Amino acid sequence: MNAKTNARRRITLTILRHNPQDANSKPRLQRYALEEAEGMTLFIALNEIREHQDASLQFDFVCRAGICGSCAMMVNGRPRLACRTLTRDLPAETTLAPLPFFALIGDLSVDTGKWMRGMSERLETWLHAREREADLSRIEERMSPDLAEAIYALDRCVECGCCVAACGTAQMRQDFVGAVGFGKIARFRLDPRDRRDDAAFYELIGDDSGVFGCMSLLACHDVCPKSLPLETQIAFLRRKMAFLSAA
Amino acid sequence: MKTLVTDALIIGGGLAGLRAAIGIRRRGHEVLVLSLVPPKRSHSAAAQGGMQASLANVRKGEGDTEDVHFEDTVRGSDWGADQIVARMFVQTAPKAVRELAAWGTPWSRVRGGDREVIINGQPQSINERMEAEGLIAQRDFGGTKKWRTCYVSDGTGHAMLFTVSDQAIALGVRVWERSEALCLIHDGERCHGAIVRDLVSGELTACLARATAIATGGAGRLYRVTTNAVICEGMGHALALETGVAALGNMEAVQFHPTGIFPAGILVTEGCRGDGGLLRDAEGHRFMPDYEPEKRELASRDVVSRRMEEHIRKGQGVASRFGPHLWLDITLLGRPHIERNLREVKEICESFLGIDPAEHWIPVRPAQHYTMGGVRTNHTGESPFLKGLFAAGEAACWDLHGFNRLGGNSVAETVVAGMIVGEFIADFCARPENDIPAPLPLAREFLRREEENLCALLRRPGSENAFRLIAEMQETMTQFVGIFREAEGLEQGVTQLQRLLQRSEAIGISAKTWGSNPELVAAYRVRRMLKLALTIAYGAYQRTESRGAHFREDFPQRNDRDWLKRTLAFWPDDAAATLPHLAYEPLDVKTMELPPGWRGYGARDFIPHPETGARQFQVDALRAKMRDRDRFAVQAALMPYAEYLPATLRGKNERLDEPLENPA
């Protein structure tokens, strides 16, 4: 039942290439043809191209297991994690491009790290503890199992950048914090260990670069590789923040 | 020359590096973290199962203490671990979990009352104590006597890494992303920092520091099939090795996991077999009972991996374009069980194989999983050979794991070592005798050398391809230095690696870009990877015994008489060298709290150390004499360790059954 010996398909990856480090580089599309293999992902395909056809091709992979969020790119116009994209789910002709919005490093590699750190600093995406120092010898503070699960459900974000790349507002406003930012605020807002109240969160996202900039197009929700409930969270935050701005 | 001076330079932005950086920063020192990738993308994020800490919160963890965790860890290491370090670790692990809880990690929590679990394939009911409701939950893991592994669903590493990384951002810890240390700046006695390459612009910087720490994780990519991320190429190990002064410890100790999905090597959990899954060969035959009639698929990790490779060697593997593999069959467990209890496995199978594991067998093959060996350090995390050089986490041979790491102890080690070694680095930076002038001429010399190497690589018309050499190295390591080892194969492996190292001098590069250039990166890394591979292969060749994950078919017994010692590998300061220099550091049976014996699983026969009997007698007599004293007094009499720990970490750990009398 597991024998698979069908003839291999030839696939073509057309890749948007550009090296901003090189003054002579002009953005261009380059085609690479290769033979598909059983279980081939874009991780395997791109490495095969780099090792056998074009050593200069730039792209980012780290965990190659859908965990780290490094390899988001535009696959036939849609942002997704390349490592868990099987070529057999793609047409024979596929176009790959770097994520828009983020600074281009080269070819399919973009600088999500720098942007995410900036977002974290701006939204203070760390726990603002109620006590200065916990006594680490003591039994930990209790939390209900359901609440821990609910926080983890929002904590699963891998900061891949798909939501920002798909965002209509982000295409117009470079300072928009994006669904990734709202997800973080929602996560810390839910966490009783964080001392910040809604007024404090309003200071962070209560304007057009924050939650009032969202046009509710919600592509973020559709493309999130972790299926985070971004639609609900953004709507909820906007309602909470709108109450505060009216007050 | 672009120069930067800081107090502490941390190479590696995963859990160990970031936690150390936080401790150092909180003590008022300046710290710079170098990371190949944005820190939240580090391989720490891939840890799924959890971290061990003896909280004794759950019913099946009742009675757990540091003592039980200590014994599990030492037995797991096949007595290769440094027992003082193991004690420091088990004492600090509960504090590390609780610190993360205070920083926001959403640990899964205990639900009081009855719950259904599967143990040995049989459904069973457990009644959790109501007084434990809301405390950190713990699950079962291999090689442990108690349910001790704290977890965040099945994304523990991710949640821990984001917590720690966000704390580092809160403290303003500086991180250079996409930066790689090319070499350490040192004068043969003291480490002064590193020459750092910006992986985007190609610019070199001399980073000078009082203390330099290597926290770069493992070296799984020396092998063709590994569960490790693509950045786990052992470049931190290589930095230390190439000084010619610092030593790497126990590099031959490499752990393999039985069920990496094939060919990608992504892990599927041991739980598949724990729940009743079977291993099958090309004929669909269930082969494990032929080899291991007692434990079958559920023998220990090293045993199952060995049997699988043996079966493949006999030609029973399933042929594929990427080489042979075997099948993991969980279809017999039924869809409801898989969708409820093996959800992650199901998602991995769907995403990466495009199969539904409730209907199709999963292609698997043992995959390299963990590097026990690393930069040899003393208990403070500092190299005993090169002052000012520290190491923590998987990159270090501290030496917590000896020859086999226990599941759940890796991610625990990252944060525990980060806490402990971070304190010792802060102490080091605070000592006036370490206020030394920045050695700029030395830094210039190292920077010039790296620059010349890179220029030569880009300029020369070489005949060898870096990617091909890496592939050949991975093939050699997998073929000869894998799960099964014996003299002839190891000899062949060593010879092939030496030849590859020589061939690597003729690497040519087609893309001549100074900045972002994956081929150039491969070209300079492959030589370092080959040196590491040689420390593993040559160390394995010399070690004529079997211990933990190091298995010699020609010497299948553990031999404490001749081999109760740690391998130290040094790289000779000679451009023509193709072999490390090996030395050995004996472990002292006379001071062990737990003298060598049977692990409680695996082979029963071993060649004892001549001093084991006397030490065991001493330990037994002391325990008998002190049977009225509490466990802390007995432990302190057997092997005192408290003074090795930073003072802030010495306090007793509170448990439901062990309330603290006096608040710390």
Tokens 């061939």 belong to B503
Pair B353, B308: CB distance under 8 Å = no
Q: Does B136 touch chain A (CB under 8 A)?
A: yes
Q: How far apart are CA B76 and CA B78, in angstroms?
A: 5
Share of chain A above pLDDT 90, in %: 86
Pick from A105-109, A240-244, B49-53 the range whose average pLDDT is largest: A105-109
Pair B178, B429: CB distance under 8 Å = no
If asked whether residues A106 and A179 sit together in one domain, one would say no
3-state helix vs strand vs coil in chain B, percent to 5: 40, 20, 40
Closest partner residue to A117 (CB to CB) among B153, B169, B264 is B169
Q: Does A64 touch chain B (CB under 8 A)?
A: yes
More confident residue, B307 or B504: B504
Q: How far apart are CA B11 and CA B197, in angstroms?
A: 12
Pair A64, A85: CB distance under 8 Å = no
The residue among A4, A63, A86, A154 with the most chain B CBs within 10 A of its CB, best to mutate, is A63
Q: How far apart are CA A170 and CA A173, in angstroms?
A: 5
Token duo for residue B246: 């610092």
Judge residue A227's burial from the number of C-beta atoms within 10 Å of its C-beta, 0-12 exposed, 13-18 middle, 19 or more buried. exposed
A118, part of any domain: no
Q: How far apart are CA B262 and CA B640, in angstroms?
A: 47
pLDDT higher than threshold 80 for residue A88: yes
**A228: pLDDT confidence band, cut at 50, 70 and 90?**
very high
Token duo for residue B367: 């995959």
Q: How far apart are CA B546 and CA B551, in angstroms?
A: 4
- What is the structure's pLDDT at B321? 75
- What is the structure's pLDDT at A82? 97
Residue of B nearest to A59 (CA): B518
Residue of B nearest to A43 (CA): B264
A21, part of any domain: yes
Share of chain B above pLDDT 70, in %: 97
Q: Does A72 touch chain B (CB under 8 A)?
A: no
Q: How far apart are CA A198 and CA A184, in angstroms?
A: 14
pLDDT higher than threshold 80 for residue B120: no
Q: How far apart are CA B356 and CA B339, in angstroms?
A: 11
Phi, psi of B552 (to 5 degrees): -105, 115
**B483: pLDDT confidence band, cut at 50, 70 and 90?**
very high
Phi, psi of B182 (to 5 degrees): -95, -35
Residue of B nearest to A132 (CA): B102
Query: Chain A 120-149, CB below 8 Å of chain B: which residues?
Result: 120-121, 124-127, 129, 131, 134-145, 148-149
Task: Give the structural domain span for A189.
Answer: 124-246
If asked whether residues A149 and A240 sit together in one domain, one would say yes
- What is the structure's pLDDT at A24? 92
Strand partners, B138: B150
Kindly determine whether residue A127 and residue B163, on different chains, have CB atoms separated by under 8 Å: yes
Q: Does A112 touch chain B (CB under 8 A)?
A: yes
Residues B596-623 have pLDDT tens digits of 998 877 677 899 999 999 999 999 999 9
> What's the pTM value of the predicted model, to 2 decimals?
0.95
Domain of residue A33, CATH code: 3.10.20.30
Pair B612, B565: CB distance under 8 Å = no
Nearest to B435 by CA among B210, B212, B101: B210
CB contacts of A193 in chain B (<8 Å) are 102, 104
Strand partners, B387: B190
CB contacts of A41 in chain B (<8 Å) are 264, 352
The last residue of a domain, from among A110, A135, A167: A110
The last residue of a domain, from among A48, A81, A110: A110
- What is the structure's pLDDT at B327? 97
If asked whether residues A130 and A35 sit together in one domain, one would say no
Q: Does B647 touch chain A (CB under 8 A)?
A: no
CB contacts of B348 in chain A (<8 Å) are 65-66
Q: In angstroms, what CA-CA distances link A104 with A29, A81, A160, B200, B201?
A: 16, 17, 15, 10, 13
Number of CB pairs < 8 Å for A and B?
Answer: 229
If asked whether residues A36 and A87 sit together in one domain, one would say yes
Query: Chain B 282-321, CB below 8 Å of chain A: which residues?
Result: 318, 320-321
If asked whether residues A137 and A211 sit together in one domain, one would say yes
Nearest to A61 by CA among A109, A128, A4: A109
Kindly determine whether residue A140 and residue B361, on different chains, have CB atoms separated by under 8 Å: no
Closest partner residue to A63 (CB to CB) among B45, B162, B664 is B45
Residues written for chain B:
664
Residue of A nearest to B95 (CA): A136
A119, part of any domain: no
Q: In angstroms, what CA-CA distances link B250 with B429, B478, B569?
A: 29, 18, 8
Kindly determine whether residue A39 and residue B352, on different chains, have CB atoms separated by under 8 Å: yes
Q: How far apart are CA B635 and CA B68, in angstroms?
A: 12
A192, part of any domain: yes
**What mean pLDDT is reported for chain B?**
93
Residues B427-463 have pLDDT tens digits of 999 999 999 888 999 999 999 999 999 999 999 889 9
Q: What is the dihedral of CA A176, A180, A185, A190, to 10 degrees?
A: 160
Query: Chain A 200-239, CB below 8 Å of chain B: which residues?
Result: none
Per DSSP, which regions of chain A are E strands?
A: 10-17, 28-35, 72-75, 78-81, 93-97, 104-106, 109-110
Token duo for residue B493: 């492996």
Q: Strand B581-586 relative to strand B51-52: parallel, antiparallel, unpaired? A: unpaired
If asked whether residues A73 and A100 sit together in one domain, one would say yes
* AA letter at B659: P
Domain of residue A175, CATH code: 1.10.1060.10
How many Cα atoms sit within 13 Å of B268 on the Cβ side? Answer: 35
If asked whether residues A153 and A99 sit together in one domain, one would say no
* AA letter at A84: R
Collect all residues with Cβ–Cβ distance below 8 Å to B454 and sequence separation of at least 6. B202, B514, B520, B524
Q: Does A31 touch chain B (CB under 8 A)?
A: no
3 state DSSP class of B495: helix
pLDDT higher than threshold 60 for residue A40: yes
If asked whether residues A134 and A217 sit together in one domain, one would say yes
If asked whether residues A23 and A98 sit together in one domain, one would say yes
Q: In angstroms, what CA-CA distances link B13 with B40, B178, B371?
A: 8, 10, 18
Pair B129, B112: CB distance under 8 Å = yes
Residues of B marked as catalytic: 257, 273
pLDDT higher than threshold 50 for residue B371: yes
- What is the structure's pLDDT at B121? 59
If asked whether residues A159 and A99 sit together in one domain, one would say no
If asked whether residues A140 and A241 sit together in one domain, one would say yes
Pair B576, B582: CB distance under 8 Å = no
User: Which residue blocks in B171-247 are alpha helix, DSSP H?
Assistant: 235-241
The last residue of a domain, from among A50, A75, A110: A110
A139, part of any domain: yes
Kindly determine whether residue A113 and residue B37, on different chains, have CB atoms separated by under 8 Å: yes
If asked whether residues A103 and A152 sit together in one domain, one would say no
CB contacts of A134 in chain B (<8 Å) are 98-99, 101-102
A130, part of any domain: yes
> Looking at the 3D structure of chain A, how many domains does it have?
2
Token duo for residue A229: 């409930």
B502 Rama class: left (phi>0) / alpha (psi -120 to 50) / beta: alpha
Q: For A190-207, what is the mean pLDDT?
A: 96
Kindly determine whether residue A65 and residue B177, on different chains, have CB atoms separated by under 8 Å: no
- What is the structure's pLDDT at B340? 59
pLDDT higher than threshold 90 for residue B570: yes
A116, part of any domain: no
CB contacts of A112 in chain B (<8 Å) are 38
CB contacts of A57 in chain B (<8 Å) are 518
Judge residue B459's burial from the number of C-beta atoms within 10 Å of its C-beta, 0-12 exposed, 13-18 middle, 19 or more buried. exposed
Q: How far apart are CA B86 and CA B54, in angstroms?
A: 13
Judge residue B417's burial from the number of C-beta atoms within 10 Å of its C-beta, 0-12 exposed, 13-18 middle, 19 or more buried. buried
Residues B378-420 have pLDDT tens digits of 999 999 999 999 999 999 999 999 999 988 899 999 999 999 9
Nearest to B525 by CA among B571, B574, B467, B476: B467
Residue of B nearest to A193 (CA): B104
A115, part of any domain: no
